[in-house]
Amino acid sequence: MFVKPEHFIIVAAGAEGDHALTAFDNCLLKAGIGNVNLVRLSSILPPGCKEAEKGISFPPGAFVPTAYGSINSEKKGELIAAAVGIGFSEDSFGVIMEHAGYCSAESARAKVEEMIKEAFANRGQALKDVKIKSVEHRVEKAGAVVAAVALW
């Protein structure tokens, strides 16, 4: 049985917590995908998949296919960032790329854009449009960032 998602959302959030994992959990909550089970996927947006106008209220515990980049830190003052982007073709599938690191949101965004362009070039496919979301966070105690594309 093959399942082809028909919708997606693209989100990015940064948050603090008392611990690295609770900071990550707080990011997911802030991004609207905190009460589901993320099923990590690679990099292909199915043909015809449409962006949801508004976020969706997923049932708690639902398995949600998600491409994401995340990073956390417990080093006070450290700058962390994450970005996720989708490259869209004219009439075929899209490509999702993500990056997270010890950098600015702009740096993460630029890296994602470069990777999308490379992925399309590697496929011999024309790139029609790019959509990217990024976030950065300066750590206070335990910080995390996440940038994600959730599909359903």
Spot the catalytic one: 37, 51, 106, 118.
Answer: 37
Is residue 92 annotated as part of the catalytic site, yes or no? no
- Check if the beta carbon of residue 133 is closer than 8 Å to that of residue 84: yes
φ, ψ of residue 38 to 5 degrees: the values are -75, 130
Spot the catalytic one: 26, 70, 72, 98.
Answer: 98
Closest CA to 71 of 84, 56, 58, 55: 84
Domain ranges for the chain, please list them.
7-53+60-151
The DSSP code for 48 is: T
Is residue 42 annotated as part of the catalytic site, yes or no? yes
Closest CA to 75 of 143, 5, 149: 143
Is residue 98 annotated as part of the catalytic site, yes or no? yes
Closest CA to 111 of 51, 65, 67, 69: 69
pLDDT for the residue 3: 83
- Check if the beta carbon of residue 73 is closer than 8 Å to that of residue 119: no
Q: How many CB atoms are closer than 10 A to CB 53?
A: 7
How far apart CA 131 and CA 52 sit, in angstroms, is 14
pLDDT for the residue 54: 81
pLDDT for the residue 53: 81
- What CATH number belongs to 7-53+60-151? 3.50.20.10
- Check if the beta carbon of residue 101 is closer than 8 Å to that of residue 133: no
Closest CA to 102 of 68, 70, 133, 131: 70
pLDDT for the residue 138: 98
pLDDT for the residue 1: 66
**Per-residue tens of pLDDT for the chain, all 152 residues:** 678 999 999 999 999 999 999 999 999 999 999 999 999 999 999 999 999 988 788 999 999 999 999 999 999 999 999 999 999 999 899 999 999 999 999 999 999 999 999 999 999 999 999 999 999 999 999 999 999 999 99
- Check if the beta carbon of residue 89 is closer than 8 Å to that of residue 128: yes
Is residue 114 annotated as part of the catalytic site, yes or no? no
